[in-house]
Amino acid sequence: MRYRIRHETSYAYGHPVSICHNQLRLTPRAGRFVKVLSAKVNINPAPTTQNTRLDSFGNRVHVFSIEHAHDDLHVVAQSEVEVSPRPTLADTSVSPSWRGIKRAASRGALRASAEEVDAYLFDSPYVRRSHELAEYAREIFAPWDDIFSACVALTTRVFLDFAYDPEATGVQTDSTEAFALKRGVCQDLAHVQIAALRSLGIPARYVSGYLRTLPPEGQPRLIGADQSHAWLAVYCGQELGWVDLDPTNNLVVQTDHVPLAYGRDYADITPVRGVYIGGGQNTLGVSVDVEPVFDVVSKT
């Protein structure tokens, strides 16, 4: 599946901003099933300084500053990616036992693999392990042996237990708070499921990205109506690697999701973060467009 993605963020300030320092994580993350064909970020007004680098998780970061007075800021990230189908797991025999993963993780035995797992086993700013969440996960996991099936079952459980409610939580809500509320947005659901898995001793990481949305039957696709999204990935052993799960939509990630960055939680990979001086009252506009490209004509 090929997508053309355009993500525009606009800030209009009530008073001029004299200076800002920012970091963007808006470049799609290449991986086993994701090929990034092109990616660019345009910033207006032209930044005083800008550069890009990889962070310690391997995500592409754009760093820029604007050091003169400006009344607005536009960030447009455009990319084209190819997402290939992941093998469907009809045969769960390739999925190792979750108890085995948990044991190996606690002994540090997963460390031998090339993947970093230690960072995803413990608390992080938004993810807090607890007995309660361990119980929550264990109840689902107990009947299962293979980790894939158990995690799919947990994803369904989180999907059913939580009400989607953008008003209930804020950008600072952590997993404990969201779990108590049983409400929230995709970020909260992902944090809760990650916390549940880590409470059990299973490595789980946060993924930010985009989701292709389908228009209602018989209606045209609306440009810019998509939104940024978040889900999680579970470490399922050397062979399966990290398996992406989307509790907001109760599904195993296939070709409708485009990842931007991996991290321990939202705090590690906030798509846009920074500090500015001045500004007064502001208005923010975000538009995301994930356009499927069906007729693939190769261009040079």
Partner 1 sequence: MPGIYDRVIGELPAAEKPVGNQSQSQSQVQSQSQSQSQSGFDSADMRQFPGTQTPVSQQGAQVVPEKLEDPTRFVGRLNGLTPQAVQRRLLQSQTMIEENAIISPAWAQDQTADSAQPRPWPLDAVPFVLTAEEDNQLHEALDQRARVLKVLLADLLGEQRFIRSGLVPAVLLYANKRYHRAYQELSQDLENGLTMYAADVAQADDGKWWVTGDRTQAPSGLGFTLENRVAAARAHPDLFWPLQVRRHVSFFMSLNQRLREAAVPAGASPSSAGGRIVILSEDMQAGHRAFEDGYLARYLRHARVEGGDLAVRNGRTTIKTIGGTMPVDVVFRRINDDQCDPVELDSTSTQGVAGLLESVRNGSVRTVNALGTQLVESPAWLAFLPALCKEIYGEALKLPSLASWWCGQAKERRHVLAHLDELNLYPAFRTGAKPIDTRLLTKERRANLIQDIKQHPEQYVGQERLRRATTPVWENDRLTPWRWSMRRFLVADGKGAFESLPGGLVRVSPDPAVLDDATAASVRVQDCWVPSEDAINTSTLLAPKDQPLAIQRVGAELPSRVADNLYWLGRTVEQAEFAARLLRMVLGQATDDQDVHDQPQLPIILGHMAQAQQIGSSVVDENGRLQDGFAETVVQSALAPGLNDNLRGLIREAMRLAQLVRDRLAVDAWRLLTRMDRFVTAAANRPGGAHPTDVLALMNHVVLEFVAFGGLMSESMTRTLGWRFMDIGRRLQRAQLTTGLIAHTLVRPSQDEAAVLSAVLEACDCTMTYQARYRAVMQAPAVLDLLITDDTTPRSIAFQLNQLDDHVAKLPIEGDLSGPSLHIRVVDRALGLVQKADPMNLAGVGHVTQRGGLNALLEGLGNEFPLLDQALSSRYLIHSGMPRQFNWWAKSNRANSTPSQGGAR
279 touches partner 1 (CB under 8 A): yes
- Which residue, 146 or 230, is less far from partner 1 as judged by CB? 230
- As measured in angstroms, the least distance from the Cβ of 141 to partner 1 is 20
Contact with partner 1 (CB under 8 A) among 277, 295, 297, 298: 277
Q: Which is nearer to partner 1, 29 or 212 (CB)?
A: 212
Q: Of 186, 201, 187, 295, which Cα lies nearest the Cα of 249?
A: 186
Structure tokens at 251: 């599904």
Cα 277 from Cα 236, distance rounded (Å)? 45
Closest CB to partner 1 among residues 98, 276: 276
Find the binder of partner 1 among 242, 263, 265, 289 (CB under 8 A). Answer: 263
Whether residue 223 contacts residue 138, with contact meaning beta carbons closer than 8 Å, is answered with no
**Residue 32 corresponds to which tokens in the numbers above?**
């086993």
The Cα-based distances of 118 to 7, 26, 205, 264, 272 in angstroms read: 32, 25, 11, 10, 26
Nearest to 93 by CA among 140, 154, 139, 147: 147
Torsion of CA 258, 264, 270, 275, to 10 degrees: -160
Binding mask 147-186 for partner 1 (x = CB under 8 A): -----------------x-x---xx-------------xx
Site for partner 1 in 190-209 (CB under 8 A): 208
Question: Considering only residues 75-134, where is the footprint of partner 1 by CB under 8 A?
Answer: 108, 111, 118-119, 121-125, 129-131
Tell me which of 18, 78, 97, 149 binds partner 1, using CB under 8 A.
18
**Closest approach of partner 1 to the CB of residue 93, in Å:** 26
Q: Which of residues 27-46 bind partner 1 (CB under 8 A)?
A: none
Which residues from 243-262 bind partner 1, rule CB under 8 A? Answer: 248-251, 254, 256-257
Stretch that binds partner 1, among 33-41, 86-94, 139-147, 269-277 (CB under 8 A): 269-277
Nearer of residues 45 and 215 to partner 1, judged by Cβ: 215
